[in-house]
Amino acid sequence: MYSFDFVRPATLDEAVAALAGEEAQALGGGQTLIPTLKQRLASPATLVSLGGIAALKGVSSSGGTLTVGGGTTHGTVAAEAASVYPALAKLAGNIGDPAVRNRGTIGGSLANNDPSACYPSAVLASNATVVTNTREIAADDYFQGLFTTALEPGEIITAVKFPVPQKAAYIKFEQPASRFALVGVFVAKGADGVRVAVTGASEGGVFRWSEAEAALSSNFSAGALDGLSASADGLINDLHGSAAYRAHLIGVLTKRAVAAAG
C-alpha cells in the first residue's frame, strides 16, 4: 500500500469537510477498497473512514418503506431487515462470508457499483432511492455503468430507502471462488408493476430486463417467461462463463426468482 493519512470523523459534516481535501477518498467497510489499496490500484492522500459516524448506521421501517443507513453492514441488514423485507435480508446474508458481512456496508457497495455485486440489483428492482448528504437519487438514475454512479466527488450515501414490495426474491448463481454473482436476478412485484434487475451479467453493470418485466406485470408466474430469452449482446464473456451462458442463466434465474417470490 502507498502511504496516506487516515482520519475517522464522528459526524457527517466533518466527513464532508475532510472529503473536500485534495485526493481524499471515503472508506466504507473497506472489503473492496482495502484489497484495491493493497494492489496499489488507488493512491488517496487521505482516507476518510465513515465507520465512526453513528448516524449512518441502522435499519428502520415505517409506512411500507425500509430505510437502511449507508454505513450499515451486510450482517446487520441480514439480521434486522428479515421481518420487513426478507428478500433483501437474504441477499445481504449471502454476500461474501460472515467476517466480510461484519465489515462491508451497503453504502460502500453501491458507491463502488461492482458489476457483479448483489446490492445494486436489489436497489434497482425495488425502485429504491439513494439518499446522499446533498440529495435523493432514484435508482434508475443512480447506476450509470461499470463502477460508475451518479455520485459527485465527495458525495456520501447516507441512506437507502426501499419501498417494500408485495413479493420479491433474489437468486444468485455464485462464482464459486469469489462468491460474487456470476449472474444474479432480483425480481420485485410492487404497486406499480414488476421490476427485474440483473447483476453479474453485463459489461455495463446492473440493468433491468424490460421484456421480462412486461411479461411478469401482466402475469406474475414463471410460465409467463416461457419463450423469452435475454440477449447476449454486451454481456460479460470471461473464463467463468461466456456471454451466451450468462444470457441463458438470466432466463433460468429469473424464473427461479419468480417461483421463490411466490
Partner 1 sequence: MVDVTMKVNGKTVTKSVKGNMLMTEFLREELRLTGTHVGCDTSQCGACVIHVNGNAVKACTMFAGECAGAEVTTIEGMANKDGSLNVIQQAFQDHHGLQCGFCTPGMVMSASALLKENPKPSEAEIRHYLEGNICRCTGYHNIVKAILAASGQDVSAIAAE
Determine if 30 is a binding residue for partner 1 (CB under 8 A).
yes
Residues 6+ apart with CB under 8 A from 88: 66, 77, 81, 122, 126, 162, 168, 170
Q: Binding string to partner 1 for residues 191 to 230, with x set by CB under 8 A, is what? A: ----------------------------------------
Taking CB under 8 A as the criterion, the residue among 22, 40, 63, 97 binding partner 1 is 97
In the complex, minimum distance from the CB of residue 33 to partner 1, in angstroms, rounded to a whole number: 9
Using rule CB under 8 A, residue 57 touches partner 1: no
Q: Is 21 in the site for partner 1 (CB under 8 A)?
A: no
Give the three cell numbers for residue 237. 464473456
> Residue from 57, 161, 167, 179 that binds partner 1 (CB under 8 A)?
179
Shortest Cβ distance from residue 257 to partner 1 (Å)?
21
Q: Tell me how far, at minimum, the Cβ of 101 lies from partner 1, in Å.
A: 9
Q: Closer to partner 1 at the Cβ: 162 or 173? A: 173
In the bound complex, what is the minimum distance in angstroms from residue 242's beta carbon to partner 1?
Answer: 26
In this complex, which beta carbon is closest to partner 1, that of residue 101 or of residue 255?
A: 101
| Interface positions with partner 1 (CB under 8 A) | 1-8, 27, 30-31, 34-35, 37-38, 47, 49, 51-52, 75, 96-100, 102-103, 179
